[in-house]
Copies of this chain bind each other. A is one copy, B any other.
Amino acid sequence: MKRVMLTVAYDGTGYHGWQLQPNVITVESVLNEKLSELFGEEIRVIGASRTDTGVHALGNIAVFDTNARMPAEKVSYALNQRLPEDIRIQKSIEVPIDFHPRHQNSRKTYEYKILNREFPQPIQRLYAHFTYVPLDIERMQKAADYFVGEHDYKSFCSVNTVAETTVRTIYALTVEKQDEMITIRVTGSGFLYNMVRIIAGTLMEVGRGNLEPENIPDILNALDRTKAGPTAPACGLTLVKYQYEDEMLL
């Protein structure tokens, strides 16, 4: 028996998110089906991040166990032959049998993209949120700085969140603009349900002038979801990478 770790990239447009659910197609359901076909045995992956419907990934992580002899490094090539074009394994390696992708110390990086121009651009529509309202990225970066550090993010998670604690650490949060595309990039110890999208929605409120950067500490302290901005649409969000503390696993 060995445990294999997959780095999984996908276009979330056509999926009801990552997590297995009845009667809909999810990234997890497709991986289970194609891995089971490939190995001729029932395979069940364990995923690191349960991304929502429409959210993309360059490097989500999944592990599975198998008795098959195929070297772990070959799984990426063999599995990609069977997967639909909107899911592609980027890497496959063997990991210790007790490695669990959610129970290891890790840093996650997400990007939220906003196309800020007069009219939508069709070839960007699936991978960036569009707004014609001018956004001031200097104001957004000022607001972003208040998020960095260890905080209770209760104001920035869905009211449906089931989590032991709403304290998380954000290591970096930057707002950059290249041509007409704004990229919010955030790295943290972990993120609560909808947390990145609510941070993005709140930063947009700052960018358009509905909130001041100096309001962010008050919103954090309120521990009240209604004080923060709206949840930004899913299509702008991409899970960029997972980094585990044990560098050997990268």
Contacts and interface: CB of A to CB of B under 8 A. Distances in A.
Kindly report how many copies of this chain are found in the complex they form together: 2
Interface string A72-91: 00001000100001111110
B11 A85 contact: no
A238 interface: yes
Chain A interface size, as a band, is 20 to 34
Given A85-B125, A125-B86, A119 B11 contact: no
Interface of A: 9-11, 56, 58, 76, 80, 85-90, 118-123, 125-127, 238
21 contacts: A9-B119, A9-B121, A9-B122, A9-B123, A11-B122, A11-B125, A56-B122, A56-B123, A58-B123, A80-B119, A80-B120, A85-B120, A85-B122, A86-B125, A87-B122, A88-B119, A88-B121, A90-B118, A90-B119, A123-B127, A123-B238
